[in-house]
Amino acid sequence: DADVTQTPRNRITKTGKRIMLECSQTKGHDRMYWYRQDPGLGLRLIYYSFDVKDINKGEISDGYSVSRQAQAKFSLSLESAIPNQTALYFCATSDFTLTSGTLEGQFFGPGTRLTVL
């Protein structure tokens, strides 16, 4: 099974609808992230969470909200979707091992392609 899963994989919705994208991970990582990717652009950070009680805004949080239901689950919501939120959305996780001095990269889910009409 994949370490980081996202549902749905594809979603088409209409302007004004509320949408929730879900992310689950089996890596046991504390840190989770939501990014969006637009054609020709790199990834931009929407929100990130260090643990269940710690949620932080990223570069482009306006129009989005998140919920960290458990260590393994991190959801992204669009309260009232608009067309310029059409993008590819990625969830990612990472470990924090400062004491061991070991740093790994972030582990990404397969992405959710969201289209807002």
Partner 1 sequence: SQQGEEDPQALSIQEGENATMNCSYKTSINNLQWYRQNSGRGLVHLILIRSNEREKHSGRLRVTLDTSKKSSSLLITASRAADTASYFCATDPHNSGGSNYKLTFGKGTLLTVNP
Distance CA 64, CA 30 (A): 21
The answer to the question of residue 12 lying near partner 1 (CB under 8 A) is: no
In the list 31, 55, 65, 67, the residue contacting partner 1 (rule: CB under 8 A) is 31
**Shortest gap between Cβ of 62 and partner 1 (angstroms)?**
16
Number of residues that bind partner 1 (CB under 8 A): 30
In the list 15, 50, 80, 117, the residue contacting partner 1 (rule: CB under 8 A) is 50
The answer to the question of residue 104 lying near partner 1 (CB under 8 A) is: yes
Task: Characterize the bridge pairing of strands 10-13 and 112-116.
Answer: parallel
Cβ count near 4 (within 10 Å): 22
Among residue numbers 74 through 93, which ones bind partner 1 (CB under 8 A)?
Answer: 88, 90, 92
Residue 50 or 83: the one with the smaller Cβ distance to partner 1 is: 50
Angle ∠(40,108,73) on CA atoms, nearest 5: 125
What would the two tokens of residue 17 be?
């609808």
53 Rama sector, left if φ>0, alpha if ψ -120 to 50, beta otherwise: alpha
Site residues, partner 1 (CB under 8 A): 4, 31, 33, 35, 40-45, 48, 50, 58-59, 88, 90, 92, 94, 96, 98, 103-111, 113
